[in-house]
Chains A and B, each alone.
Chain A
Amino acid sequence: MHSTSQGASQARLGLPNLGMGLGLRTQHLPAILAGGARVDWFEIISENFIDHAGYSAHVLEQLAAQLPIVMHGVSLSIGSASPLNLEYLRKLRELANRVSAVWVSDHICWTGLGSHNSHDLLPLPFHESSLQHLIQRVHQVQDILQRPLVLENPSSYIQFADSTMPEWEFISRLALATGCGLLLDVNNVYVSAHNHGFDAIDYLRALPHSHIVQLHLAGPTRAGELLIDTHDAPVPTPVWQLYALAQELTGGVSTLLEWDANVPDYEDLLAELAKASAVLAGQLPQQAVQQQQGLQFAHPIDFHLPAASQHSHDHLEPA
């Protein structure tokens, strides 16, 4: 273990514990505007608001004046062998300034190579060469953004034969070498631990806790022998257990519930988020892991404004 909760307030890279937050989804905007946010903060998908000057961006600016906003990206591709996209980084910095983002996060992964972007969070080999590659690029990104980058552990379904160290060692060394923050997705730890046969608790205990600034919660799906990170179900009990441990190890950091497919009403989402407070009070929700057949899943990236809610604002006019 690299640190304890004792130094938590000084650590966290100067970033605050924002409390309980939700991923901002466009289908919830009417409920939020009508009834208020009723959360401590929102996380946005950065790419949904870059190059966006429409209604959602307008509402975001209104919300940013009232609540902390954290930016969570899916296209940084920090692990790609291709050069960083400097235009993307410039726009990321602009958006961060526009919404006064408390921090900017992305994933420890690669999303594409050359001109081909898979729009998925693809896994990296964990070895010395890839680690040095990431360290150099995290430094570069932090120099451009002029702020610490916060990076999330992704879930994965394969491991590379050339890997020479476990994921938690790779992430820990990356954080310690660069000073970057960590977004610990306890659901992703649970998913990958199941798929790759490691101990999720060992993983959590091995991380440098003073670098963890945020926790992600979500519900996975069991499909055959694999667990898949679908973000479309209630958080299951084993993930709540990891969440409780993570909060204990860190001394308390920001919590964010993700739900990106089969998205429930805002009220139901608030109810699911309220379980996190119950867990911190010692009450563990009893919830089984969702089960489905087959492997036909789109990894959850909140990619678009839903057609029905957005396009229904449009109307016909005579000249």
Chain B
Amino acid sequence: MTISNQPEPATLVQLQQWMLASITNPQGLTAGLQHATIAHGRDASSMLAKGKVADVQAGLAVYANGYWLRLLACLQSDYPALRLHLGEDLFNFFCRSYLASFPPASYSLHDLGSHFTRFLRHTQRSAAREGHSLRFPLELALIEHARNCAQRAPGLEQTDYTAPDPMAVLLGAKTVISLPATTRLLLTAHPLAAFQPWLAAATVSGSDRPQHPLVSATSCIAISRHRYHVSWHALEDWQFYALSAARRQARTLSHCAQAAARRCHMPVAEIHAKLSLWLPVASAAGLLMTAQNTTTEQG
């Protein structure tokens, strides 16, 4: 396509708008150049100097190909188990659709996949239903995203946090529970053990595909980091809801026990006792932090 009446030299913003439109079009460089020509009234021959060793399309193709390959590689790095499960073609199809809807906006490529799971759930609503074959990979993506967040978030390693005194907890010392940014909680329709082979296989190049899980069961999963080591935990439901109660802000042990008791239809006293015993274990796993004082909790 040629523009007959050449406009004034492009301003910097016009030049950059034109180039971005050309090289980032989801349909490829040819479509991008057509779009840029129409949208900005300038074509490649007016914008670019004649190439010395290759034509300008070949030069632009380096940028256009590089844009998509780089972003795909980044998502592949973030979601290796999902990629293994879906296969290369379907995974890349979802990635390209996602990137077309959510072009990279952050200065960090670590943020590139931050909306990917939301995009998948939104665009594959029917797949999110119980029994659908895509339900499992959607949950696998959620777990991988949670893992990615846990790896980079501020954890307890650089703090002077001290674990709770088990005896003080049992004796009723006021105990406040909070979750570090490295702890993530997920409710899934498959057991943790179903995800494990996929997560493990994705770390080894050329691994065989594990089997698709045959059974489904609502599962409570937590991801934590302890001494920079990320772990997955299968929780009992009362553990999950007790931690959930402290997810957004620090809560007393009693508050967490009450919240869990409501969700699990169990006596508060029973949850309170179980939680008191479990706190040191959960703390040692990096799942939670506690603060204590000698004041006895009421209720």
- Inter-chain contacts of B53 with A (CB < 8 A): 194-195, 197, 225-226
Could you tell me which residues of chain B, from 42 to 100, have a CB within 8 Å of some CB in chain A? 46-49, 51-54, 56, 58-63, 65-67, 69-71, 73-74, 76-78, 80
The 8 A CB mask of A217-241 against B (1 = contact, 0 = none) is: 0000000111010000000000000
With A159-B48, A295-B62 as contacts: A58 and B228 at CB distance below 8 Å: yes
- Inter-chain contacts of A48 with B (CB < 8 A): 110
Residue B217 is within 8 A (CB to CB) of chain A in the complex: no
Could you tell me which residues of chain A, from 301 to 319, have a CB within 8 Å of some CB in chain B? 301, 303-308, 310-319
The answer to whether B80 and A307 have CB atoms under 8 Å apart is yes
| C-alpha gap A125/B151 in the complex (Å) | 40
Residue B268 is within 8 A (CB to CB) of chain A in the complex: no
Residue B244 is within 8 A (CB to CB) of chain A in the complex: no
The answer to whether B110 and A51 have CB atoms under 8 Å apart is yes
The answer to whether B16 and A110 have CB atoms under 8 Å apart is yes
Residue A141 is within 8 A (CB to CB) of chain B in the complex: no
Interface segment among A31-39, A160-168, A177-185: the answer is A160-168
Total count of chain A residues near the partner, CB < 8 A: 66
- Inter-chain contacts of A81 with B (CB < 8 A): 11-13, 16
> Which one of B11, B20, B65 lies within 8 Å of A112 (CB-CB)?
B20
The answer to whether A85 and B107 have CB atoms under 8 Å apart is yes
The 8 A CB mask of B212-231 against A (1 = contact, 0 = none) is: 00000000001001001111
> Which one of B10, B19, B63, B65 lies within 8 Å of A162 (CB-CB)?
B10
The 8 A CB mask of B222-253 against A (1 = contact, 0 = none) is: 10010011111111100100000000000000
| C-alpha gap A314/B200 in the complex (Å) | 9
Interchain nearest-CB distance for B61 vs A (Å): 5
The answer to whether B12 and A157 have CB atoms under 8 Å apart is no
With A161-B46, A316-B192, A319-B234 as contacts: A311 and B202 at CB distance below 8 Å: yes
| C-alpha gap A266/B292 in the complex (Å) | 47
Could you tell me which residues of chain A, from 102 to 147, have a CB within 8 Å of some CB in chain B? 110, 112-113, 115-120, 122, 125, 129-130, 133
Q: Which residues of A contact B (CB under 8 A)?
A: 47-48, 50-55, 58, 75, 79-81, 85, 88, 110, 112-113, 115-120, 122, 125, 129-130, 133, 157-163, 194-197, 224-226, 228, 295-299, 301, 303-308, 310-319
Closest A-B pairs by Cβ, 9 of them: A197-B52, A81-B13, A75-B107, A157-B59, A298-B69, A55-B228, A158-B59, A298-B70, A53-B154
Give 15 pairs: A residue, B residue, CB < 8 Å, sorted on A. Answer: A53-B154, A75-B108, A116-B104, A117-B106, A119-B70, A122-B63, A158-B48, A194-B53, A195-B51, A225-B53, A297-B69, A299-B63, A304-B77, A308-B203, A311-B203
